[in-house]
């Protein structure tokens, strides 16, 4: 078999290896197909400087990480100065973070991008390969097209295949129609169909009947012959989901660690240790039942599939031994429920120092969080989204404001980094939803704040996008940055864009949102200050001492006997009616604790806000 080249293009951060390359290489080798990975995004960092690269790698609303490749991919697309005017606020922050000017960014687009493409084409002997495959995720599309364009001009007989999470049917068709340098786009899980595609192309056999392969209609498998007859699109539908994820190989990150040294990232003063991505599940078991209204992930592959806990443990052991790495980032959209005990329980029993990040539901209990922390959970993305139960109902989150608040409380206590945000702008929202959240936020400066507060987007594939009327959405138009990325005469922006601008009916006005935005900003500033606000309690046998340092005037509250028992009873949220009935003898104490914001009442439940001083509670 002729070797296959696997490419991951800019613009990505040097800290995050390409999981796609790491999985595809051993997959092909298992089928007897030699493969070589090229983490080209690492070498681009050396070209432009790592400070610049890391700033551009963030996914900004202006998609600057794509824009810098636009001219190399398509030539001049649109007048560019209006692009900087449209996104002036973005570019002020980007330039400050990158230590550059707008003119520097223009030079990267006008000159450096071309120099990098030439460097890639000239320094690798691409004639060795029978196929060049590009893995495309966020902000890799235009760089991939630019590189494919140059490679096809130099080596017209080598098939070029695009694939990755970016490609559902609609976007894939736009690329096949608008990019003659791309011979095929692979849609769906690659384990079954990609090795077969490679084998057939290597043997000169037809591939038109393969599921998951989108290409141009032709009776010949030759890329050159097909390019002469672009009569239409041939596509047999998305590749089938892989059901048995235990069949996937252990990812191979050797090339990334080599690229870290060769590209100079390892010598970059602000370089961070690699955060190794792992995949333990695909799809979303929650989305199969209730698709969150704003979520554009898992469009066709929503069916949930997970590796066995034993397989995950074996993979973690192999990767940590091979690379000496202890930090892992699960790219799963949601954690498999059996991992809580069967994976993290085993990691705790092994007394490892592995640290894992997962996306989770906010329904995790204090006991579950403690168990997972013991097993190495250091970071979560929980989908909190709001502290208003009504807003959460509109989002179809099937959680409550109190449940989310409990998760925030216990993640803070167990020192689990909680990467949540607060979303606004859902049809049917009410002013009281925002006023309620302001009241809650002002009571909890000692708990970790959201990393952001923003209006919800109708991303491609989300219910807000697919069913706009049901969600009060109108005026769906591609985000304006796309007019600066793709030539309108070659692409239908409505079908190639992922982000959209839109209007939502029956929402509150900006003035109603303003107090919550201001409260969250104060919360974030307080959390960054030293010392941080604190609200904690220390316990003896039958007495609690609550220390309140949430403001500049510290206060202390002592509780004994039944009052102390009441406070400990409220460590987890309890129904208000049950509490008031059980502790009727200290009703006056409860009222005082509520007045002092040491206890909060939300959704007809009561919760103590102070965190135990005992770190092993």
Asked whether residue 170 is assigned to any structural domain, the reply reads: no
Asked whether residue 10 is assigned to any structural domain, the reply reads: no
The sign one gets for the Cα dihedral 88, 92, 95, 97 is: negative
Which pLDDT score is estimated for 301? 65
Q: Say if residue 399's pLDDT is above 90.
A: yes
Binning pLDDT at 50, 70 and 90, where does residue 522 land? very high
Q: Give the residue with greater pLDDT, 368 vs 285.
A: 368
466 and 346, same domain (yes or no): yes
Asked whether residue 16 is assigned to any structural domain, the reply reads: no
**CATH number for the domain including 472?**
3.80.30.20
361 and 506, same domain (yes or no): yes
Q: Is-contact 147 178, C-beta < 8 A? A: no
Residue 395, token pair as written in the block: 């989002």
Which pLDDT score is estimated for 80? 77
| pLDDT tens-place string over residues 452-477 | 999 999 999 999 999 999 999 999 99
389 and 357, same domain (yes or no): yes
372 and 480, same domain (yes or no): yes
Closest C-alpha to 522, from 555, 546, 551: 551
548 and 566, same domain (yes or no): yes
396 and 457, same domain (yes or no): yes
**CATH number for the domain including 580?**
1.10.10
Task: Indicate the residue among 510, 528, 546 that finishes a domain.
Answer: 528
Task: Indicate the residue among 471, 503, 528 that finishes a domain.
Answer: 528
Q: How far is residue 285's CA from residue 279's CA, in Å, rounded to a whole number?
A: 15
| pLDDT tens-place string over residues 229-266 | 345 899 999 999 999 999 999 999 999 999 999 999 99
Q: How far is residue 214's CA from residue 505's CA, in Å, rounded to a whole number?
A: 38
Asked whether residue 390 is assigned to any structural domain, the reply reads: yes
Range of the domain at 423: 273-528
Task: Indicate the residue among 481, 497, 528 that finishes a domain.
Answer: 528
494 and 554, same domain (yes or no): no
Domain count for the chain, please give it.
Answer: 2
Asked whether residue 338 is assigned to any structural domain, the reply reads: yes
Q: How far is residue 419's CA from residue 381's CA, in Å, rounded to a whole number?
A: 5
Average pLDDT for the chain: 94
| pLDDT tens-place string over residues 525-553 | 999 999 999 999 999 988 999 999 999 89
Which pLDDT score is estimated for 296? 72
355 and 450, same domain (yes or no): yes
332 and 462, same domain (yes or no): yes
410 and 496, same domain (yes or no): yes
Q: Is-contact 457 500, C-beta < 8 A? A: yes
Asked whether residue 424 is assigned to any structural domain, the reply reads: yes
355 and 397, same domain (yes or no): yes
492 and 548, same domain (yes or no): no
Asked whether residue 81 is assigned to any structural domain, the reply reads: no
What is the value of pTM for the model shown?
0.93
Asked whether residue 115 is assigned to any structural domain, the reply reads: no
Burial of 240 (C-beta count, 10 Å sphere; 0-12/13-18/19+):
middle
Q: Is-contact 251 259, C-beta < 8 A? A: no
């Amino acid at each position: 078999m002729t070797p296959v080249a696997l490419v991951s293009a800019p613009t990505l951060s040097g800290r995050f290896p390409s999981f796609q390359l790491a999985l595809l290489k051993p997959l092909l080798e298992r089928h007897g197909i030699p493969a070589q990975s090229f983490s080209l995004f690492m070498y681009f960092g050396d070209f432009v400087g790592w400070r610049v690269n890391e700033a551009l790698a963030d996914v900004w609303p202006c998609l600057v990480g794509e824009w810098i490749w636009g001219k190399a991919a398509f030539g001049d697309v649109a007048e560019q100065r209006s692009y900087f005017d449209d996104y002036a606020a973005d570019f002020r922050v980007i330039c400050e973070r990158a230590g550059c000017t707008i003119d520097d960014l223009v030079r990267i687009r006008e000159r450096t991008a071309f120099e990098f493409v030439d460097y890639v084409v000239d320094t690798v002997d691409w004639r060795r390969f029978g196929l060049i495959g590009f893995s495309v995720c966020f902000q890799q599309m235009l760089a991939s097209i630019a590189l494919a364009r140059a490679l096809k001009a130099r080596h017209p007989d080598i098939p070029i295949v695009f694939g990755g999470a970016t490609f559902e049917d609609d976007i894939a068709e736009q690329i096949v129609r608008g990019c003659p340098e791309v011979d095929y786009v692979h849609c769906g899980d690659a384990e079954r169909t990609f090795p077969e595609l490679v084998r057939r192309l290597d043997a000169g056999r037809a591939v038109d009947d393969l599921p998951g392969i989108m290409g141009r209609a032709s009776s010949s498998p030759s890329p050159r012959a097909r390019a002469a007859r672009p009569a239409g699109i041939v596509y047999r539908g998305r590749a089938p989901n892989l059901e048995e994820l235990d069949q996937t190989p252990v990812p191979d990150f050797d090339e990334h660690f080599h690229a870290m040294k060769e590209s100079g990232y390892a010598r970059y003063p602000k370089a961070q240790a690699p955060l190794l991505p792992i995949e333990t599940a695909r799809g979303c078991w929650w989305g199969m039942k209730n698709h969150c209204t704003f979520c554009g992930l898992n469009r066709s592959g929503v069916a949930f599939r997970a590796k066995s806990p034993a397989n995950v443990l074996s993979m973690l052991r192999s990767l940590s031994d091979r690379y000496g790495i202890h930090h892992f980032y699960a790219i799963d959209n949601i954690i498999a429920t059996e991992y809580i005990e069967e994976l993290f329980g085993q990691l705790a029993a092994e007394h490892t120092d592995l640290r894992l990040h997962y996306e989770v539901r906010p329904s995790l209990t204090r006991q579950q969080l403690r168990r997972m922390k013991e097993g190495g959970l250091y970071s979560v993305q929980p989908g909190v989204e709001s502290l208003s139960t009504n807003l959460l109902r509109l989002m179809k989150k099937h959680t409550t404001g109190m449940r989310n608040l409990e998760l925030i409380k216990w993640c803070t206590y167990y020192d689990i980094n909680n990467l949540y945000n607060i979303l606004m702008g859902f049809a049917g929202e009410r002013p009281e939803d925002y006023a309620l959240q302001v009241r809650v936020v002002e009571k909890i400066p000692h708990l970790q704040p959201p990393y952001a507060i923003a209006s919800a987007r109708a991303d491609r594939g989300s219910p807000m996008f697919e069913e706009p009327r049901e969600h009060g959405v109108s005026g769906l138009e591609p985000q304006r940055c796309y007019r600066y990325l793709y030539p309108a005469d070659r692409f239908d922006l409505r079908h190639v864009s992922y982000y959209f601008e839109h209007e939502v009916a029956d929402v509150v006005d900006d003035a109603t949102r303003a107090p919550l935005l201001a409260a969250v900003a104060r919360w974030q500033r307080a959390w960054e200050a030293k010392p941080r606000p604190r609200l904690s309690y220390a316990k003896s046998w039958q007495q609690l001492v609550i220390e309140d340092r949430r403001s500049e005037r510290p206060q202390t509250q002592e509780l004994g006997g039944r009052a102390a028992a009441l406070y400990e009873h409220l460590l987890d949220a309890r129904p208000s009616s049950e509490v008031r009935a059980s502790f009727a003898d200290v009703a006056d104490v409860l009222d005082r604790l509520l007045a002092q914001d040491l206890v909060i009442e939300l959704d007809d439940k009561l919760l103590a806000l102070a965190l135990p001083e005992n770190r092993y509670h």
